[in-house]
């Protein structure tokens, strides 16, 4: 298809056929067939051509023999296959990213539609205002396409809703647009329709959210079982050298790889089952003072940690576990600040519905005057929102810029809910919407989100406690297994290998480098702790810096397990084999 060729769209308005330019081709190609032939087939041909080129090079260089024939056959099968697989994966990731973006924004978007519909503007002005709003990602792009089809191409809003619904990749959004098209066709009030729609979408969102939390609980049970299996596996693997004669260090590396793969796999699974819900507000240009303080503290603690590690390296602390654990302690401050920041955000979100409802009610009673209402409200106690409310009132009075003032109010809160829904309320108000109706609708939606987040916090707290306990058991079993292997090696060193094999079929492996093995396991366990802390933070949906709080605690648990296991084995060996055996272990 040429770059300037037009795409034909048929079946509109009872058989009307319109020619749409290449600007609309992206929507048309989402049906899949044209996209498949244009990209997948060309990628397959590219892989085939590459296989032909490499095969010709191999044959001309090495001649025709059995080895080159096998390699050529593999190239002709593998290269086209991997080329097509790569483009299909790219397309699938693109589709998943679009779906994720829509799912992240759809419940807030429907609330925005419902609040905006109280302004009783014309359908054209309503969709025009929605199309101008860039705050909803892919949904905003789809609404701009819808508006262009309806206004510039003359389809009308009912038919434009159906066209975009057929081409959007998200089923929930497609269903929403299709129902909106039918509502416009039958002349249903947009206010009545969007109000009913907001309740239904939020109910669906609640069901999906709770389903994600249920899946998280299932994953916790699976993860617990896997960690128990990993503990037994590590004990078994460290005893294999006595039956095979292979170096224990080889099996130590196997344990490390298994644990790393388990961590990465579980993190991906936890990320995939959890509902899209972000606690903190993020913007590329705006950042509140709390987040700046946390970032500055992180930089300070990072340099303090590096300095402490260097100082300990030149001290009497030769053990890596001691140096590493002590040098990570400063990051606990960053994690603690992040945890306090999260608690402050959640406190603001819990009081925000009553703030919006009060603002909407009194603004409606006073015939649309916001500043006098805020002046009277700032004398009341709205918890953590009170200082933000006072600064909001000052900005409105001094700057007379409502957009600027409310933008900074949302940014200062640090809450994604406060930022999004305060913008919805104030945009509805200045569009001529009913503040009383908006003040009733928006708090009801926020309350549902806040209650769902409370359930998520509880589930994440249970996961955290489980991880702390299982981590202690896992690292303790691994350390004790390594010490037992070293003790057995010490006990068997005086026996000739051939005699031992002849008597009981046990090999005497090469003497284990205990320090290297322990440090290898320790560093892999640090990675284990990092992935666990990220899992906890992914589960509760909080600030990423807060993972450092759990990371430091897990590293301290790791150090306790290491030294407790070491002291236990030293005590046991000194009583069983004498002080000379202890010297071989240390």
**Length of the chain counted residue by residue:** 586
Highest mean pLDDT among 255-264, 417-426, 431-440, 574-583: 417-426
Task: Give the separation between CA 168 and CA 174, rounded to whole angstroms.
Answer: 6
pLDDT tens digits, one per residue of 504-528 = 445 555 555 666 677 777 888 888 8
pLDDT at 248: 61
pLDDT tens digits, one per residue of 437-483 = 888 888 888 898 889 988 998 888 888 888 888 888 888 887 877 77
pLDDT at 437: 84
More confident residue, 243 or 324: 324
Give the residue carrying structure tokens 């099968």.
77
The answer on pLDDT for 25 being more than 50 is no
In the three-class reduction of DSSP (H, G, I as helix; E, B as strand; rest coil), residue 18 is classed as: strand
The answer on pLDDT for 108 being more than 80 is yes
The answer on pLDDT for 365 being more than 80 is no
Highest mean pLDDT among 38-52, 185-199, 291-305, 482-496: 291-305
pLDDT tens digits, one per residue of 387-422 = 888 888 888 888 777 878 888 888 888 888 888 888
The answer on pLDDT for 285 being more than 80 is no
The answer on pLDDT for 33 being more than 60 is no
pTM over 0.85: no
Q: What is the mean pLDDT of the chain?
A: 77
Share of the chain above pLDDT 90, in %: 4
pLDDT band at residue 287, thresholds of 50, 70 and 90?
confident
Residues 237 and 254 sit within 8 Å (Cβ to Cβ): yes
The answer on pLDDT for 24 being more than 50 is no
Give the residue carrying structure tokens 């009610």.
361
pLDDT at 270: 83
Give the residue carrying structure tokens 């224990």.
248
Which segments of 284-330 does DSSP mark as H helices, in order?
289-313, 320-328
Task: Give the separation between CA 61 and CA 67, rounded to whole angstroms.
Answer: 13
Q: What angle do CA 539, 540, 542 make, to 5 degrees?
A: 120
pLDDT tens digits, one per residue of 115-160 = 888 887 788 888 888 888 888 888 888 888 888 888 888 788 888 8
pLDDT at 245: 57
pLDDT band at residue 586, thresholds of 50, 70 and 90?
low
pLDDT at 3: 36
Residues 485 and 239 sit within 8 Å (Cβ to Cβ): yes
Task: Give the separation between CA 347 and CA 343, rounded to whole angstroms.
Answer: 6
The answer on pLDDT for 500 being more than 70 is no
Taken in order 534, 537, 543, 546, the sign of the CA dihedral is negative
Q: Averaged over 542-564, what is the pLDDT?
A: 88
pLDDT at 553: 92
Q: Averaged over 246-272, what is the pLDDT?
A: 75
The answer on pLDDT for 558 being more than 50 is yes
Task: Give the separation between CA 370 and CA 374, rounded to whole angstroms.
Answer: 6
pLDDT at 190: 82
pLDDT at 238: 65
More confident residue, 486 or 228: 228
The answer on pLDDT for 7 being more than 80 is no
pLDDT at 27: 40
Report the Cα–Cα distance between both ends of the chain, in Å, rounded: 73
Q: Averaged over 560-576, what is the pLDDT?
A: 76
Which own/partner contact pairs does 282-286 have at CB distance under 8 Å and 24+ positions apart?
Answer: 282/416, 283/411, 286/407, 286/411
Q: Averaged over 96-102, what is the pLDDT?
A: 77
The answer on pLDDT for 554 being more than 60 is yes
pLDDT at 212: 85
Strand partners, 415: 280
Burial grade of 468 (CB within 10 A; 0-12, 13-18, 19 or more): middle
pLDDT at 31: 44
pLDDT at 6: 34
pLDDT at 19: 39
Query: HSE-up of 564 (CA within 13 Å, CB side)?
Result: 12
pLDDT at 299: 92
Dihedral, CA of residue 532, residue 538, residue 542 and residue 547, to nearest 10? 20
The answer on pLDDT for 338 being more than 70 is yes
Find how far residue 521's CA is from the centre of its chain. Answer: 28
Highest mean pLDDT among 54-58, 343-347, 481-485: 343-347
The answer on pLDDT for 71 being more than 80 is no
pLDDT at 492: 60
pLDDT at 300: 92
The answer on pLDDT for 112 being more than 70 is yes
Residues 150 and 144 sit within 8 Å (Cβ to Cβ): no
Share of the chain above pLDDT 70, in %: 79
pLDDT at 551: 92
Q: Averaged over 215-222, what is the pLDDT?
A: 85
Q: Averaged over 544-556, what is the pLDDT?
A: 90
């Amino acid at each position: 298809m040429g770059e300037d060729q037009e795409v034909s769209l048929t079946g509109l308005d009872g058989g009307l056929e319109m020619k749409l330019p290449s600007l609309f081709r992206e929507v048309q190609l989402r049906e899949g067939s044209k996209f498949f032939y244009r990209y997948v087939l060309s990628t397959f041909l590219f892989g085939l051509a590459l296989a032909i080129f490499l095969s010709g090079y191999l044959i001309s260089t090495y001649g025709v023999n059995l080895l080159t024939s096998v390699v050529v056959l593999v190239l002709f099968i593998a290269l086209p296959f991997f080329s097509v697989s790569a483009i299909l994966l790219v397309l699938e990731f693109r589709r998943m990213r679009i779906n994720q973006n829509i799912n992240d924004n759809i419940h807030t978007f429907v609330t925005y539609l419902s609040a905006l519909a109280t302004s009783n503007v014309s359908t054209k002005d309503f969709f025009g205002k929605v199309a101008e709003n860039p705050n909803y990602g892919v949904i905003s792009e789809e609404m701009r396409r819808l508006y262009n089809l309806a206004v510039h191409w003359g389809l009308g809003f009912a038919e434009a809703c159906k066209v975009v619904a057929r081409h959007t990749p998200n089923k929930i959004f497609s269903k929403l647009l299709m129902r909106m098209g039918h509502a416009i066709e039958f002349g249903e009030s947009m206010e009545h329709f969007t109000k009913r729609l907001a309740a239904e979408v939020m109910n669906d969102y609640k069901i999906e959210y709770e389903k994600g939390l249920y899946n998280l609980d299932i994953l916790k049970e699976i993860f617990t079982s896997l960690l128990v299996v990993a503990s037994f596996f590590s004990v078994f693997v460290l005893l294999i050298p006595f039956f095979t004669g292979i170096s224990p260090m080889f099996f130590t590396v196997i344990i490390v790889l298994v644990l790393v793969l388990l961590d990465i796999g579980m993190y991906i699974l936890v990320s995939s089952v959890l509902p899209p819900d972000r606690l903190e507000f993020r913007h590329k240009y705006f950042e509140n003072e709390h987040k700046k303080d946390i970032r500055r503290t992180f930089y300070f603690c990072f340099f303090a940690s590096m300095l402490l590690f260097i100082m300990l390296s030149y001290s009497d602390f030769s053990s890596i576990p001691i140096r590493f654990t002590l040098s990570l302690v400063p990051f606990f401050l960053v994690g603690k600040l992040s945890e306090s920041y999260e608690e402050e955000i959640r406190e603001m979100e819990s009081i925000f519905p009553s703030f919006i409802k009060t603002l909407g009610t009194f603004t409606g009673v006073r015939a649309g005057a916001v500043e006098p209402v805020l002046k009277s409200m700032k004398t009341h106690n709205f918890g953590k929102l009170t200082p933000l409310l006072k600064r909001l009132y000052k900005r409105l009075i001094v700057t007379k810029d409502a957009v600027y003032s409310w933008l900074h109010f949302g940014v200062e809160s640090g809450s994604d809910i406060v930022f999004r829904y305060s913008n919805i309320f104030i945009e509805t108000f200045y569009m001529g919407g009913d503040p009383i109706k908006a003040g009733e609708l928006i708090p009801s939606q926020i309350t549902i989100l806040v209650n769902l987040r409370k359930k998520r916090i509880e589930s994440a707290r249970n996961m955290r406690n489980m991880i702390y306990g299982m981590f202690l058991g896992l690292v303790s079993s691994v350390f004790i297994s390594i010490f037992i292997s070293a003790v057995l090696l010490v006990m068997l060193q005086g026996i000739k290998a051939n005699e031992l094999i002849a008597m009981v079929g046990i090999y005497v492996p090469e003497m284990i480098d205990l320090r290297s093995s322990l440090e290898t396991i320790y560093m892999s366990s640090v990675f284990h702790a990092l992935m666990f802390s990220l899992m906890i933070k992914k589960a509760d949906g909080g600030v990423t810096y807060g993972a450092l709080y759990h990371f430091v605690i897990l590293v301290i648990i790791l150090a306790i397990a290491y030294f407790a296991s070491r002291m236990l084995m030293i005590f046991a060996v000194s009583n069983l084999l004498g002080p000379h055996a202890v010297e071989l272990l240390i």
